[in-house]
Structure 1
Amino acid sequence: MDVSVFLHLLLQEISSGGQGLRPYLIGFNDRSLYERCRKALKELCNTHPALAHMEERPIISSLRFHFPKGLEQRWRPFKQALTVEEDTRMMINTTFRTTSTGERGIPWGVRHIKAPHAWSTTTGHRIRIGVIDTGADYHHPDLRHSLLSGINFVQPGRPPQDDNGHGTHIAGTIAAANQMYGIIGVAPRALIHPVKSFDENGSAYVSDIVQGIEWCVRNKLHLINMSFGMKTRSKSLLHAVTQATNAGIAVVASSGNDAKRKTIDYPARYSQTISVGATDNSRRIAPFSNRGSYVDIYAPGDKIVSAWLHGNYHEMSGTSMATSHVSGAIALLLALKPELKPPEIKALLRRTANPIQPLRGRASSTKESPAGEIDIARLLNECR
């Protein structure tokens, strides 16, 4: 690709101005081309002040600009060298939460999937999990021994401290370890790297998610928990998920909370992920959960108690909560069988799942959801 032509068209786009500017990601398929263009744009900043608003995304070889809508069509001639797409926002997948609760010990979801049956054999020891979310509360007593260093893409340079609560809740279900005074997660000796891509409102741009996945790949984590979703496809996100899976990292993603029967959110809809729907304590699909053939496994997601900010606890519902149960189960599995690849893990989860109870008023739920609910005892027995 001719760099001078690229720069000319880019400057045209920026100078056109107009209403309704949106954030776009320009991703370079070749790292050296990215470096050449980035350097050239830096040199032009003095004569073109609008370039000062350019944001670099070096981890994913991308540049971020604000342009009028429709940039994808206008830049189609560069499709061999570049990926151009709107930097969409997405939200964490939670339906609601209550005020703090007094419940302690082993939460019902952890018991329901039979995690305590596994702890004499495996506790997830030394399995490293990237939780791409709102960060985590490093001061929470239940997470004191579970959290490692992470990264903050919302406020670069600062620690990934949670300012929302969702990420702390997810971390607690996966790996809380305060047997005497708090709660215990599915894999109490697993280790979590908080990746803060979501702000205090539970919102994130695709580019920050992609950077988070890339960070997990570079740091050779074992699995990634992604309790969030959006309705539209993203080439950048798909590329990052594929890269993680190819690196041997299991990517666990929530199906979404729209009660849809035939579709689920992205990135869970990508075949490279392990997609998770939510059940209630009657082993039925939770009313809010997306379901259907795209879901790989179900797990408890209704009225789940876990850690919260400032040492507190909250009850939350959503496919986010279900996803954290599955991530914890995979940590238990990988501590025993570290050689397992993501497709093998997915196949094991599906093969050892318990049948879903029929939805109330229906004879059977198999048409809606051929997948079953996770059973850790059966999962681990299959591997012995």
Structure 2
Amino acid sequence: MDYPGFLQLLNRAIQEPARSGRAKQIIRFNKASHYRECLSYLQKMKPGLSGLRSVQSSHLIRALIAPMACRERLGKYRNGVVIEEDTRIRVHGGAASLSAEAVSTLPWGVKKIKAHQTWPLSTGSQIRIGVIDTGVDFRHPDLRHCLARGVNLLNRAMLPHDDNGHGTHIAGAIAAASYDRGAVGVAPGAIICPVKAFDHNGSAYVSDIILAIDWCVRNRIDIINMSFGMKTRSKALLDVVNKAHTNGIVIVASSGNDSKRQSIDYPARYPQTISVGATDRFGRIASFSNRGPHVDIYAPGEKILSSWTNNRYHEMSGTSMATSHVSGTIALLLELKPSLSPAEIKALLRRTASPMRRRSGTAPKTSRLGEVDAFRLIREGIKLR
């Protein structure tokens, strides 16, 4: 492959103005040796070709990510690479209402899954959870104990500060700890590594998620929380999810909030993830939750009180909130059984789930529905060798 020629063509394509908004292409190399050689030429040619300075790379899936409008510009080099157009992806944010006062009682979701009953044995201590989201509020009093530096993929010179609220809410539902009045998460001993891939509108691109997962693998994250989704399948996203899975990272993803009965969003639909639907206070599938055979487990997701930006608290509903309950529960298990594989954890979650009440017509009679039960999961996990 003529790497200098390829990169010069790529540089020209990058410098062409996009007709509408931002456009990117994900360029994956079929062979690892070709990717490494091209990357070597890229580093050498960047100083002289300004367009190449905006190219990012994912070593995990041997990909270059380039801001260019038209993939056809690279047509003559298509034999050695696979080019996929970048697409938008959004956080699974539901309705939110401001709560002016924090509460001193245990959140209903934590109580429902019996997480508090496991705390004498495990709080998820030192389990690293990568929350790929809108960032986090580093000044929130209920989160200061659990936050690592993380990374801001939108501006690497800055901390991953939350300018939306969704990421702070997820972090709090997982690991908040308050000794007076405030939010309490499922695993208050866990470490949250905020990975800011989403902007203030809760919007990102598949390429941002690829770079986020790549960062999580390189930084030895134990669990990745992905409270977001999209309707279309991405081969590049599947590849990076699979690589993280084979590296032993547990990936927890929300099913979506469209009330679909037989379909869920990507990446939750990929078999390498643990897909999560939402329940209400009565142990039924929440009306907004996607459901069906692709969902692995359900968890509380309706009117969940958690931390918010500017030291506040919000009540939110969505499969995002359910996913954070499952991520926290897995952290409780991993503190005690760190050698468990993602597949073993998924199987144990399903096997120890609590039976659920059904709304009329929400699922076929043969469907085996289950809501996460943290206490039972830990009890059964301890028995494993």
Amino acid aligned to 1:32:
R
Q: CA deviation at 1:53?
A: 7.0
Alignment of 1:363-382 (within 5 A): 365-367=363-365, 369-382=367-380
Cα–Cα, structure 1 residues 197 and 18, in superposed 2: closer, same or farther, change >3 Å? closer
The corresponding residue for 2:36 is 32
Which segment is superposed worse, 1-10 or 89-98? 1-10
The CA deviation at 1:300 is 0.5
Judged with a 3 Å threshold, the aligned counterparts in structure 2 of structure 1 residues 261 and 41 are, in CA distance, closer, same or farther, namely farther
Counterpart Cα distance in 2 of 1:35 and 1:244: 22
- State the match for 1:348 in structure 2: 348
Superimposed CA distance per residue, residues 47-90 of structure 1 (whole angstroms, 9 cap, x where no aligned partner): xx6x2674323555543334445649x749635x3231112111
Q: 1:181 to 1:235 in 2, by over 3 A?
A: same
Q: Percent identity?
A: 52
Distance in structure 1 (CA, Å) of the matches to 2:67 and 2:221:
33
Q: 1:63 to 1:280 in 2, by over 3 A?
A: same
Which stretch shifts more, 224-233 or 28-37? 28-37
Structure-1 separation of matches of 2:188 and 2:198? 25
* Corresponding position of 1:161: 161
CA contact (8 A) 2:136 2:165 kept: yes
Aligned-partner Cα distance in 2 for 1:83–1:179: 52
Unaligned runs of 5+ in 1: none
Code of the residue aligned with 1:159 in structure 2: it is L
Aligned to 2:87: 88
User: Paired residue for 2:220?
Assistant: 220
- Give the match's secondary structure for 1:286: coil
Matches within 5 A, 1:1-384: 1-7=1-7, 9-10=9-10, 13=13, 19-20=19-20, 22-28=23-29, 29-30=31-32, 31-39=35-43, 41-42=45-46, 45=49, 51=51, 54-57=54-57, 61-69=62-70, 71=72, 75=75, 78-79=78-79, 81-104=80-103, 105-359=105-359, 361-362=360-361, 365-367=363-365, 369-383=367-381, 384=383
**Which residue type is aligned with residue 377 of structure 2?**
L
| Shift in CA distance, 160/18, structure 1 to aligned 2, threshold 3 Å | closer
Q: 1:212 to 1:2 in 2, by over 3 A?
A: same
Return the TM-score normalized by structure 2: 0.90
Q: CA 1:101–1:322 in structure 2 vs 1: closer, same or farther (change >3 Å)?
A: farther
Report the residue type matching 1:232 in the other structure.
Answer: T
3-state DSSP class of the match of 2:261?
Answer: coil
Distance 1:224 1:297 in 2: 16
Q: What letter matches 2:234 in structure 1?
A: S
1:229·1:266 contact (CA, 8 Å) conserved in 2?
yes
- Whole-angstrom distance in 2 between the partners of 1:223 and 1:357: 29
TM-superposition CA deviations, 1:257-301 (whole Å, max 9, x none): 111111111111110000000010111111111111110000001
The 2-side partners of 1:368 and 1:291 are apart by 14
Task: Report the Cα offset of residue 9 of structure 1.
Answer: 4.9
Tell me if structure 2 keeps the 8 A contact 1:217–1:247. Answer: yes
Q: Distance in 1 between matches of 2:43 and 2:232?
A: 32
Query: Gaps spanning 5+ residues in structure 2: where?
Result: none
Secondary structure of 2:131's counterpart equals: strand
Q: TM-score, normalised by structure 1?
A: 0.91
Contact 1:259 1:290 in 2 (8 A): yes
Contact 1:356 1:365 in 2 (8 A): no
1:149 counterpart SS class: coil
Deviations 1:98-140 (A, max 9, x none): 1224241321111011111111111111111111111111111
Query: Separation in 2 of the partners of 1:101 and 1:259?
Result: 30
Contact 2:13 / 2:70 at 8 angstroms: preserved in 1? no
User: What RMSD over aligned residues (CA atoms) do the two structures have, in Å?
Assistant: 2.3
- On the 8 A contact 2:175/2:191 being kept in 1, the answer is yes
Distance 1:15 1:245, change over 3 A: closer
CA distance in 2, matches of 1:107, 1:62: 43
Distance of aligned partners of 1:77 and 1:59 in 2 relative to their CA distance in 1, 3 Å threshold? closer
Q: What is the CA-CA distance between 1:370 and the residue it aligns to? A: 3.0
Structure 1's 19 and 282: CA in aligned 2 closer, same or farther, altered over 3 A?
A: same
What displacement does 1:368 show?
8.4
- For the Cα contact (< 8 Å) 2:56–2:66, is it kept in 1? no
Kept after mapping to 2: 8 A contact 1:129/1:222? yes
C-alpha distance in 2, partners of 1:34/1:62? 10
Do the aligned partners of residues 38 and 116 (structure 1) sit closer, same or farther apart at CA in structure 2, a change above 3 Å counting?
same
Equivalences, count: 376
| Greater alpha carbon shift after TM alignment, 4-13 vs 239-248 | 4-13
The 3-state SS of whatever aligns with 1:379 is helix
Cα distance in structure 2, aligned partners of 1:178 and 1:368: 42
